[in-house]
A and B are shown apart, each in its own frame.
Chain A
Amino acid sequence: MFLPYAFDSARLQYLRSPQGKVAELRLELNSGGKKDKNFSAKKTALKKIVANMTMSNNDMVALFPDVVACMHLPSLEIKKMCFLYLVNYARIKPDIALKALPIIRGDVQDNNPLVRALALRTMSYIHVREYVEGTIGPLKELLRDADPYVRKTAAFCVAKLYDHDRHLVESSDLIDRLNGMLRDENPTVVSSALAGLMDIWERSENIKLTIDYASASKIVSILPDCSEWGQTYILEAMMNYVPHDTQEAALLAERISPRLSHSNSAVVLTCIRVILYLMNYISDQKVITSLCNKLSPPLVTLLSKGAEIQYLALRNALLILQRRPEVLRNDIRVFFCKYNDPIYVKVTKLELIFMLATERNIKEVLTELAEYATEIDVDFVRKSVRAIGKLAIKIPPASQLCISTLLSLVSTKVSYIVQEATVVIRNIFRKYPNQYESIISTLCENLDSLDEPEAKAAMIWVIGQYADRIEDSDVLLDDFLDSFLEETHEVQLALLTATVKLFIQRPTRGSSLVPKVLKWATEETDNPDLRDRGYMYWRLLSSAPEEAKKVVMGEKPPITAEESEKLDPGTLEEMCLNVGTLATVYLKPVNQVFRSARPRRLQDSPALQRNELPTVKAAQQARERAAAERTKLDTATHTNGHGGTNGNGNLAQAVSDADVYFAGVGRQSTWGASPIVTEQGAMGGGWVVNQNAPQQVVMSPGGEGGNQDLLL
């Protein structure tokens, strides 16, 4: 009674161990013998083995010889399972895998097309030299097989071999043969051959793939007969067609546009990509407008797909909006968030709402954003608040409305809303100086809830800037100063400047604070920026208090809300060639995200509408701006009356003008002829010139040469 019990538990232990499992499966695989006519025992065992392939590490690899032994059995079901096993393990045990090669070679010549294709497909997956070399021969045969299913499998097989060993493929005529398949009568075979060629093109810089108008026209004509995936491959290949005639580009765009109504979003987005691409080569504005009108509805319809596709569509909408704003003239409401949208969809919708907001729809937009600001996700709430503040800057007529929305949010007293609002209100003050001071009191009520550096710095900036209008500004600042030494550098810098501003505007109130802060900033810190700024103020205040006012309370350069949202023209141009790909999710140049990806560029051709390209437009604008700045600089030097009156805006002349000017400043100072000051002056001079004409330095390094450029 005792014995069998012990035996059982030992056996269970054994079965649970990997070796036990393997041994048991081996036994099962070899059971049945001659009586098992349908090989049902073998099938069951193989099923268990395949099931265990991923689930139990690599234990199953021990059964490799036994599985190879089953491969010759005349059952397709067993064959399929053996092949799955082979693909999975061949790389770990190449020597055993070789034993299966003769069997699989036989199958490649099977009468059944499904078996031929299966064998070829399996054979070409295996990354073992003998297999790769052994595939070439049969592959050449099967590329001309009578059965289209085999031919399309063979087409992909060429790309697979190229992945294993590109030299082997390049030294054979396989790529030429693949090219020849583009004339196949079966549309699926053509689209597969194109996909294979594109795959090879993607991975090798020395392979060119250009499609002329006749071929482009032909592959477009077979689109309706291809499967949805085949259509995607054909459309992707269309990106390698460079139109040489604007009529041809327009015609092809027109012909592929029915694809926009396809239910597969890959077809739709790839089609949008091709149409956007072809538009670069179309001169007729009417055609462009009509194409843009066609793009809009399908883009919005993608928003009723799964969340992931919605996300992708929205990211691409951000892109298309910058390149072709007319496409998204839709009702802004289609981008309003649903309560249970995933967070990634919501955040992208928010960005789109911000970009599409205009004076006309601002009321609607603000109601919507205020609603988002009450949601749970902190990050999303912050972004919504920030968007409201940025809208005040982007749309001046609506600033009052935005500010009252912000204030009603501040009154909720939720800490992160207050802090975010403080930061954006600072920017609003920058944009509209002396207009909305009435709201300062509301901000001051919430001082205690500020604990983030950015919000603190913003509040301190407001106190400093409006020190003369805030009744007890010195008290407020003093409160902040209590913890000066513990603050982050960002806050310390803000405190330093604000205290100086206070002193300049209300010397009596600030006189007790300034020495204290300057001492801390110059002596008790190891941050060079803070120390430098401290010294600068110290000297400024002690040498020329009147000048100090001009410097510290001087006019600030204007700020805009949109610059940061926009892609730079080069990136925008590149992104538009990649609509629907992963890079559009990140909205970064392809090679920044995927280093090895082969980059796409717009190819030049007589039909290319150069003047419409974002990069060309931007360069044009920069040139115009530089010209405008230059004339401004000229008049400035005139009125300044400091020497240089040659009037051609020569950079060197301007620098020396500044030198003269700052040398004068230096001499008046009580710090005497301190070397530091004159040096600073010279640097300052350089800075002044750069500030006024930044483009000049970039665009035309040799002053006069630049002038000639502009005249052309």
Chain B
Amino acid sequence: MLSGILIFNQKGENLIFRAFRNDCRPRLADVFRIQVISNSQVRSPILTLGSTTFSHVKHENIYLVAITKSNANAALVFEFLYRFVGLGKAYFGKFDEEAVKNNFVLVYELLDEILDFGYPQNTETDTLKMYITTEGVKSERAMEDSSKITMQATGALSWRRADIKYRKNEAFVDVIEDVNLLMSAAGTVLRADVNGQIVMRAYLSGTPECKFGLNDRLTLGEDNLQPSGNRAGAKATRAAAGSVTLEDCQFHQCVKLGKFDTDRIISFIPPDGEFELMRYRATENVNLPFKVHAIVNEIGKTKVEYSIAVRANYGSKLFATNVVVRIPTPLNTARITERTSQGKAKYEPEHNNIVWKIPRFTGQSEYVLSAEASLTSMTNQKAWSRPPLNLSFSLLMFTSSGLLVRYLKVFEKSNYSSVKWVRYMTRAGNYEIR
């Protein structure tokens, strides 16, 4: 497994160096600095030199590097690095160079706890915060306390403390969908899919058993055996009946996967506070919130004309916020003149973009931007690569997949009543028009 964890800043200074095995030598820090940080031609997150492999992720302004010898489980290495970043964020708010420099001891202490001999151990924030804290170890803990911690860290419910109490028991469910679209210049949909996540904030006392239901029909390869024509037909009828088809879902480790596998019930004992309950993918019957009609004409070598129309496809009672349309311009653009029917458009030369912002976009309305870019002449006439036009937005009370939460039931010994809230939001993932 891992031989060491290193953290560098962008200048290549080694901030953290923690070896877990004897084969992790200090000079490896120099190797990484030379081969990766000061090398502009890096084309892979994995570099193997001799028998040493450097796997890195970049987060904010730091590099987090895992050193392994031999043929390690790469999925585990990266998943651990992501988790380490997540822990850093949970502890420091923002995990960047400054946070590391202000918390050297804590970072070392965390690493010592979450990796033993390079094997990832319990990485649950909640449990770790019981005995590794930013304000130093509060008081020398009593014996019972310590064994409580150790039971928690090794138990089957490692993500939840036993003694949680709330006066008011509440659970908030956020259904957040990232809708991805790739549309050709001619307006045909090349790809449309939804990556959804269900985030829960549970403020529930004791050890609550939750059952969760959606309006889904999870196929998970079951009826893949049928002839394809039949299958499409079946899916269409389902959509009409108000259920959605999910391609796949993945769950937080608190969900009892065995139970889900046999009777398709999502049942779990939630961690305290916020966590991501599940992720899902949908590709059938995706409702696209915005339709974009873009005409881009290159007139000779000196001028590009734009006419972009964006239409909201959702109900007129809803409205999207923070709608931003990014319209790429050629690299040699000298001047832009633009007109919009709503919102503000601005040319950002540093990004080669016209940025059109519409703070509030009511359903069923359509707005238009027309612009003209004058180009300077260039010595090397390289064709403009025409990056895609890109949209970002967020839209409340709407799901592109049509997913709805049917119920959330909470069972607890003490039989308290609990209040549940649900919210839906659709955001733009990669919403691109070529």
Interface residues of A (CB under 8 A from B): 43, 46-47, 50-51, 53-55, 74-77, 80-81, 83-84, 87, 111-115, 117, 121, 125, 127, 147-150, 152-153, 156-157, 159-160, 163-164, 186-189, 192, 195, 199, 202, 224-229, 232-233, 236, 257-259, 261-266, 268-270, 289-290, 293-294, 296-298, 300-301, 304, 306-309, 311-312, 331, 333-334, 336, 338-340, 343-344, 364, 367-368, 371, 374-376, 412, 414, 578, 580-586, 590, 593-597
Contact = CB atoms under 8 A, between A and B. Distances in A.
Nearest to A203: B70
A261 B78 contact: no
A344 B42 CA distance: 10
Contact of B70 (A125, A149, A202, A304): A202
27 contacts: A43-B136, A50-B104, A50-B108, A76-B140, A80-B109, A148-B150, A156-B116, A188-B158, A192-B119, A261-B257, A269-B73, A293-B222, A304-B195, A308-B81, A309-B79, A331-B283, A336-B182, A336-B191, A338-B182, A339-B388, A344-B44, A368-B190, A375-B385, A412-B383, A580-B74, A582-B53, A597-B70
B248 A297 contact: yes
Contacts of A229: 76, 119-123
A112 B144 CA distance: 9
A600 B434 CA distance: 47
B53 to A, nearest CB: 6
A326 to B, nearest CB: 10
Interface string B364-377: 00000000000000
Contacts of A266: 73, 75-76, 79-80
Given A43-B136, A76-B140, A301 B71 contact: no
Contact of A113 (B17, B109, B146): B146
Interface in B216-255: 220-222, 224-225, 247-253
The 8 tightest CB contacts between A and B, nearest first, are: A149-B150, A293-B221, A297-B248, A51-B104, A266-B76, A258-B257, A188-B154, A258-B261
A47 B75 contact: no
B190 A333 contact: yes
A467 B143 CA distance: 92
A55 B385 contact: no
Contacts of A227: 121-122, 124, 158, 253
A268 B154 CA distance: 22
A265 B75 contact: yes
Contacts of B154: 148-149, 152, 186, 188-189
Interface in B381-400: 382-383, 385-388, 390
A236 B73 contact: yes
A78 B117 CA distance: 22
Nearest to B150: A149
A265 B70 contact: no
A467 to B, nearest CB: 33
Given A159-B117, A593-B71, A297 B279 contact: no
Interface string B276-297: 1011010100000000000000
A189, A264, A290, A296: which has the most chain B beta carbons within 10 Å? A264
B43 interface: yes
Given A55-B15, A199-B1, A224-B258, A156 B117 contact: yes
Contacts of A258: 257-258, 260-261
A308 B78 contact: yes
A412 B382 CA distance: 9
B322 interface: no
Contacts of A187: 156
B341 interface: no
Contacts of A344: 43-45
Contacts of B205: none
Nearest to B100: A51
Contacts, number: 275
A307 B117 contact: no
A289 B225 contact: yes
Contacts of B53: 582
Nearest to A364: B190
A582 B242 CA distance: 44
Given A54-B17, A188-B154, A308-B78, A294 B71 contact: no
Contacts of B34: none
Contacts of A331: 283
Given A55-B15, A224-B257, A294 B220 contact: yes
B13 A55 contact: yes
Considering residues B13, B70, B252, B279, which has the most beta carbons from chain A within 10 angstroms of its beta carbon? Answer: B70
A114 B150 contact: yes
Contacts of B57: 306, 308
Nearest to A188: B154
Contacts of B84: none
Given A261-B250, A374-B386, A153 B116 contact: yes
Nearest to A257: B261
B428 to A, nearest CB: 13
A578 B74 CA distance: 10
A583 B20 CA distance: 22
Nearest to A224: B258
Specify which of B75, B104, B154, B276 lies most central, judged by the most chain A CB atoms within 10 Å of its CB: B75
Contacts of A195: 1, 119
A296 B219 CA distance: 12
A410 to B, nearest CB: 13
A339 B181 CA distance: 12
A376 B388 CA distance: 13
B35 interface: no
Given A113-B150, A265-B79, A297-B248, 5 more contacts: A125-B20, A187-B156, A367-B190, A585-B44, A596-B69
Given A114-B146, A148-B150, A367-B184, A582 B74 contact: yes
Interface in B99-121: 101, 104-105, 108-109, 112, 116-117, 119-121
Contacts of A232: 73, 76
Interface centre among B131, B155, B250 (most CB of A within 10 A): B250
B251 A261 contact: yes
Interface string B153-168: 1111010000000000
B51 interface: yes
Nearest to B255: A261
A586 to B, nearest CB: 7
Given A51-B104, A150-B150, A312-B75, A301 B15 contact: no
Contacts of B109: 80, 84
A593 B117 CA distance: 23
Nearest to A590: B71
B401 interface: no
B151 interface: yes
A364 B278 CA distance: 32
B149 interface: yes
A57 to B, nearest CB: 9
A35 B190 CA distance: 74
A125 B115 CA distance: 12
Nearest to B220: A297
B168 to A, nearest CB: 29
B283 A298 contact: no
A160 B73 CA distance: 19
A50 B136 CA distance: 14
Query: Interface centre among A127, A149, A289, by most B CB within 10 Å?
Result: A149
Contacts of B20: 125
Contact of B383 (A84, A289, A374, A595): A374
A368 B191 CA distance: 11
B48 interface: yes
Nearest to A306: B82
Contact of A127 (B22, B224, B383): B22
B430 interface: yes
B426 interface: no
Nearest to A302: B75
A338 B431 CA distance: 10
A184 to B, nearest CB: 10
B422 interface: no
A164 B23 CA distance: 11
